[in-house]
Each structure stands twice: as C-alpha cells, then as structure tokens.
Chain A
Amino acid sequence: MKGRTLLNHQALSHTLDRLAYEVYEQHTDFENLAFVSLQPRGVELGERIVGQLRKLEPNQKILHGKLDVTFYRDDFRRREEMLVPSSTEMDFSIEGKEIILIDDVLFTGRTVRSGLDALLDFGRPKHVELLVLIDRRFSRELPVQPDYTGRIVDVVQEERVKVEWSKDNANNRVTLFSEDQ
C-alpha cells in the first residue's frame, strides 16, 4: 500500500519544533499548565511535544496526562465493530489549570467533543486549547477548531490520513491514502 507523503520525517520534525515553540510562546506559567493527549494516537504526538518543551525548560515539571475517550463516544451501539479502550492516566488535578488537549488528526471533531466530556470528569479547567498535527479542514461535523495546527490538509471524505511514528524518529511520516489504496 503506497500513499502520497504529506510530511516526511524531516518536515515533520520541523513542524513538531514549531508547534512546541508556539505553545512556549503562549505559555510561560508551566505550574498551571497541563498537557492531555487523547488515546491512542494523540499520545505519541503529545510525548514529542512535551519532550521538546522539557528540553527548553529542564527545571520545570511539565504535566502530561493520557485520556481515553472510548466510554464518551457518541457512536456506541451505532457502529458495527466495538472499540477497544486504551488506558487513562491522569494522575494530577486539572481544577483551575490551563489544558492543552492533543490529538494527531482533527477530522469530524467528534473525538475532540468526547475528549472534552472526558476531560471535564476530572475537574473544571480554567481554559482548554486544542493542538493537532493534521487538520482535515472542510470535514468537520461539529464546531471544533484547533488553536495550534501542524499542517492543514484539504482531502475528500473517503481519503485517509495516517500518522506513523518510529522509536528513533527517523521514519516518522504522515501519509495520505485514497479510497482504493
């Protein structure tokens, strides 16, 4: 299966750097900030962004939680295959904090909607922002917009965007697959 490469590992690495710096530009108070990545695919991205910020601010403790939204989805009993939940690891309070929600691809906006519901079960944050690597513009089914975007792509409904991560980051890439691929 061969698709069209949207971002190769080099371009992706620059994009990650830029995203981290954009967050850094907006947020200086790390005490009151927490990153929450959506399971399963937002976590790889979240770890890289947070890793980058930890390099920039080595003396700061940067909070990073992982949130599974399976039980909050709006398509339970409406889809053929049941989804297997991933783990949730939120070992800090989000009460009054500024939260940056992270996912890899923003498509219909439904996962982010579930993510917001799931997040609010852990407390009342002061402010929530959304960071995504790929924004599939024009595919939204709910009014959700990102605050930090890696790359905006215009693709039709049937196409799939796949983000792949490798351990050493040498084979990271974002690929577009069309319907018949």
Chain B
Amino acid sequence: MTKLSTKHLLGIKDISREDIDLIFQTADNFKEVINRPIKKVPSLRDVTIANIFFENSTRTKLSFELAEKRLSADVVNFSASSSSVKKGETLVDTVNNILAMKVDLVVMRHPNPGACVHLARHVDCSIINAGDGAHEHPTQALLDAYSLREKLGSLKGKKIVIVGDILHSRVALSNIFCLQKLGAEVRVCGPATLIPKHIEALGVKVMLNFREALQWCDVTNMLRIQLERQEIQYFPSLREYTMQFGLNRALLEDLDKKDVVIMHPGPINRGVEITSDLADSEYSIILDQVENGVAIRMAVLYLLAGQTKSTP
C-alpha cells in the first residue's frame, strides 16, 4: 500500500492497521532525514499549512512546526488568544477564512471533543487532529507506538498499562486504539474516580492496584495528572496520588522489574506520577518519544499532502 485510506487524520479509531504500518514505514525514512547534517527535504515546498491551536501546547505545536519546516512547507500559526474567536466568529468561518488565503492543510487542537470531525465535514481541506478535548490525539499515539516498536520490535502480545488520569486523557484513548490495532494487550490503571465508565467495552481491563499492574506489564505509560481539566477533586491530595500511583525505583526493585519500559507523553510532573531519577533512567524512552514525534508528524503530513493535488 502506498496511500492512506483517509483524507484526514482525525483519530486512530478511523484508520486501519495498514495505514499505521505505512505511516511507520514512512517515518523510518524521515527519522534518517532528521539525523542528517541538513535535516530538510523539499517535498512540501508548494504546500502551506496552518497550525490552529485553540488550546495551549508547547511540545505538540513545536513538533508539528518543526516537521512542517523540515518538509519545506510554508507555515502559519494561529492561536486562540490572539484571534477573532474572541470576537464571536464560528470555528468553520475562522477556518474558511484561513483557507481562502490558499492554505492546503490544517493542523488543529481544540478543547472540544469532535471539533476536528465537525470541521472535516464543513471545510474542504485535509485536517490533522492535534488533540481535541478528551477525545483523541492521534499523532501522540502513533509516536508512542512507533517508539515502542523501535524498543521492543513487534508489539504483538505485548502488555501495556496506561496509568493515571484516564478520564481526561486523549492520549489514553488514542493509545488504546493504536496499540490494540498493533496486537498489544492494553490495561488502564488509576484512581477509580479517574477511570471512565464502560471503558471495558473497548476491550481494556481496569486495574485499581498499581503494584499489580506494574507486575503484569511490559510497558508502563505514565500520564500526567491534568489538574487544569479537573473541575472537581477526584482524589484527596497529590501526595496521596503519588503514594498510590507514583512510579519510583524502590517499587521497581521490590517487584524485580528489570526490563520494564517507561513512557510519558509529557509534560512531566517530576515527583508526582514518576520520580525524577526514573524519568531520566535507562528504562525511560521519554526523549525518544519526543524525537520520534517529529518523524511521525513528517510522515503524516507527507502522506496526507501527497493526496492533495497540486494546482498549477
């Protein structure tokens, strides 16, 4: 297969195993490119990409922007704080105005789940979801799975536990879809108040005891506690959370886990979900995740842009 089955990347749920394989294969090539002295190829020199961020982001925005620039695309950035959204313009109008300035691809982050799906129905261009509320964050899941595959080889039969605030996490949902499509077994672990109801319907087992979860898994993906999304208090205190669900070296040694892989989508709250020394340890692939993020995003942008036709 040389083409994605979709015009947009809205979520992992909508793409196939073959799509994921094609993205990984293309990312291998881009990973080689970004490790050259000149980290740039001219593929997208006639493509303009708008990064529309209605929600704060440092890592994802930077990663997308670098990916776009390394493909030689023209980039325009737009964030909600400096936009006419505050003046009452609708999402579709805002984006259509940007498209009228001849933009080919839109990368969007939005606080509302489904915002990208809505946009894809109403505007005529390819949309890449850079996170929509607590729904999906497809490129994060792709780079997580890609980093794991790099570390472990095939993900078939691998046991992965996602720990923390599953309820508010788009990373968790996209990771579940992506890892399952690649044949891994996924479980979630966290305080009962932060586990969404009916998550078992996705084929995911819930574990409330972190120690047991850690004993079971090959890989643990430590999510950040998203205090900014929590409108009520879900657990008594951060200190208590850390005692129950925080990862530290003593716990790993106690369980005699020598080959566990530790992931984190960032930003890390050092000392909360993971201790500082483990985040920087040989178990951690956190910085590989960041490096691979650029390669994965280059692959997604390249493959989606390749489906749009150049207008002479």
Q: Which A residues contact B (CB, under 8 angstroms)?
A: 68, 70-72, 76-78, 81-85, 87-88, 90, 117, 121-123
Contact = CB atoms under 8 A, between A and B. Distances in A.
Interface residues of B, number: 27
B36 A122 contact: yes
Interface string B15-53: 000000000011011001100111011111011000000
B40 A121 contact: yes
B281 interface: no
B40 A76 contact: no
Given A77-B46, A77-B309, A82-B3, A87 B38 contact: no
Contact of A123 (B25, B37, B309): B37
Interface stretch (B210-218, B222-230, B300-308): B300-308
Contacts of A70: 29
A52 to B, nearest CB: 28
A87 B32 contact: yes
A88 B41 contact: no
Given A77-B306, A82-B2, A123-B37, A72 B25 contact: no
A87 B31 CA distance: 11
Given A71-B42, A85-B26, A87-B28, 15 more contacts: A71-B29, A72-B41, A76-B44, A77-B46, A77-B308, A82-B3, A82-B306, A82-B307, A83-B2, A88-B32, A117-B42, A121-B36, A121-B41, A122-B36, A122-B37
B237 interface: no
A76 B3 CA distance: 13
Contact of B25 (A68, A84, A88): A84
Nearest to A120: B38
Contacts of B47: 77
A122 B32 CA distance: 12
B233 interface: no
B82 interface: no
Contacts of A77: 46-47, 305-306, 308-310
16 contacts: A71-B29, A71-B41, A71-B43, A77-B46, A77-B310, A78-B310, A82-B3, A82-B303, A82-B306, A84-B25, A85-B26, A87-B28, A87-B32, A90-B36, A121-B38, A121-B41
Interface in B259-312: 302-303, 305-310
Q: Which of B29, B33, B36 has the most CB of A within 10 A?
A: B29
Nearest to B309: A77
Contact of A76 (B32, B36, B37, B43): B43
Interface in B39-96: 40-44, 46-47, 71
A80 to B, nearest CB: 10
Nearest to B39: A121
Nearest to B71: A71
A108 to B, nearest CB: 19
Nearest to A84: B2
A103 B42 CA distance: 21
Contacts of A117: 42
Contacts of B28: 87
